[in-house]
Homo-oligomer: A and B are copies of this chain.
Amino acid sequence: MEAKLKELKTYLVEVDDLHSAAALLYWDQSTYMPSGGAAARARQTATLSRLAHEKFTAPALGRLLDILQPYEEQLPYDSDDASLIRVTRREYERAIKVPPAFMQKLYSHASESYQVWTEARPANDFTMVKPYLEETLTMSRQLAEFFPGYEHIADPLIDFSDYGMKASDVRRIFSELRTRLVPIVDAITVQSPADDSCLHQTFSEEQQLKFGIETIKCLGYDFERGRQDKTHHPFMTKFSLGDVRITTRSKEDDLSDALFSTMHEAGHGMYEQGIRMEFDGTPLANGTSSGVHESQSRLWENVVGRSRRFWSCFYPKLQAEFTNQLGTVSLETFYRAINKVEKSLIRTDADEVTYNLHVLLRFDLELDLLEGTLTVADLPESWRERFQTDFGIVPPDDRDGVLQDVHWYSGPIGGAFQGYTLGNILGAQFFESALDSHPEILSEIETGEFGTLHGWLRENIYQHGSKFTASELVQRVTGSSLRIEPYISYLRQKYGELYELPPEESLMKEVD
């Protein structure tokens, strides 16, 4: 059995080598590739992904897993070996349902579509991407059809990123969230908005990136095992557990863009850098779900990175870097500026409170598209209408409307967005548990120390990779299943200091 297990690992590492090479092809395409490389790159990424898929779905792997089943059954559920066999089998059984030729077509299409989007967005031209998006929708539905027996056509797609979740689960959670969130949003946005003009001066890209890098080094992102580069739409990617990279972008007239995007991606990166090296090259060496992944990016970006305690330590450093711009701006003004709540256009720039409304909008549009109640042709208009309903404003163009996110233009529709909001909810829940064990975390943040928090997260979440499912992990770490309460209570406490909020009780009564 030892020999068979070794055989399994060797086999999986080869699959991972192909995936890692494909990931590098994508990273390069998104950071440094000259435009002339685009056509071949789409094909190359498709070929590598197909070969990985072919290898991962070969009957040889199925036989190996069958042979190993009795061994798995005699091991404790949470042993590394049992977990490797179990998680590999789960992914294998999912993967064999999708024909390799389909995967190749999907990847190739996604790569071309992404390239077109990088031109269409600055050109504010939805018609450029429309045929690509229509094909994406068709292929997303086809992808779901490989998993018959679903409740909702989005279920298999959600399952890819948030294993075990169904559209109905997400709808239920999002519905409760909306009920408790909207009164907060409404209460805040009728009050006079914070003055964030201090963030909208001119800040050189070089200084912004330098400050961002210094900051995430303090948080614990390891530059010996990662790096940061510039791109259109920031992302994290991994070529091995020793090489977990992040990307960022900056705006000269918006200090918050690069800064919080960098902390966000560093959160993702620290999660994967924290996975145990023994898992490298296997299916265990990934974050366990989109929601848990986002819980880490949003925890470091928001719960830590937009907290008053954090900036009581880091603001003097920021002032020292940008003396001309921030020398006379008080910490309180800056703190209110980075936590300004407003109904705005761009999801990735949105504050913590309204952010989820952006996600809920996208999630609902995804379900409508997949159900066929909305066509791609009508999507820009539907976006505008829904935006007006939820935010009271109409996007002036598609660039900052339906074209703003890379997701639909670089992968399937369905399952791409719910993780962000699940992450907000889980981030608060995890942070609450961390504080229960280590109340000193709060005072440490005030002194720029993150070791206790980082250590707790690594110990309880990061090291396990995808050994446990999201729901198993949440249960293990917090002693309960996903709960909205810690998130609402976090928002109420933080924003209750900054704005007049109606008491929760009265809200609940109104809802009843």
What residues of chain A have their CB less than 8 Å away from a CB belonging to chain B? 13-14, 17-18, 20-22, 24-25, 28, 32-41, 43-44, 47-48, 51, 222-227, 229, 239-243, 245, 280-281
When chains A and B are docked, how far (Å) is the Cα of A222 from the Cα of B227? 28
What residues of B have a CB within 8 angstroms of the CB of A32 in the complex? 227, 229
The answer for the CA separation of A293 and B287 in the assembled complex, in Å, is: 46
The answer to whether A36 touches B281 (Cβ under 8 A) is no
> Which of B22, B28, B37, B281 is A40 in contact with, Cβ under 8 Å?
B281
- Which of A20, A48, A243 neighbours the largest number of chain B CB atoms within 10 Å of its CB? A243
| Residue on B nearest A223 in the bound complex, by CB | B34
If over half of A's interface residues share one DSSP class (helix, strand or loop), that class is named, otherwise mixed; here it is helix
Min Cβ gap A230→B in Å is: 12
Q: B43 contacts A17, CB within 8 Å?
A: yes
Partner of A21 from the list B13, B48, B222, B245 (CB cut-off 8 Å) is B48
Which of A39, A43, A44, A48 has its CB near the most chain B CB atoms (within 10 A)? A44
| 11 extra A-B contacts, CB within 8 A, seeds A21-B48, A28-B28 | A14-B47, A17-B48, A24-B24, A33-B239, A34-B225, A34-B226, A36-B242, A37-B239, A38-B242, A40-B241, A41-B239
A243-B18 contact given A25-B24, A40-B280, A281-B40, CB 8 Å threshold: no
A277 CB to nearest chain B CB (Å): 10
Among B20, B40, B47, point to the contact of A243 (Cβ < 8 A).
B40
Complex CA distance for A155 and B122, rounded to whole angstroms: 56
Closest 3 CB pairs of A and B: A37-B243, A40-B240, A36-B225
The answer to whether B227 touches A39 (Cβ under 8 A) is no
Bound: A17/B13 CA distance, A: 20
- Pick 24 A–B contacts, CB within 8 A, sort by A: A13-B43, A18-B48, A20-B44, A21-B21, A21-B22, A21-B48, A24-B25, A28-B28, A32-B229, A34-B223, A34-B224, A34-B226, A34-B227, A36-B222, A36-B225, A36-B240, A36-B243, A37-B225, A37-B243, A40-B239, A40-B242, A41-B239, A41-B243, A44-B240
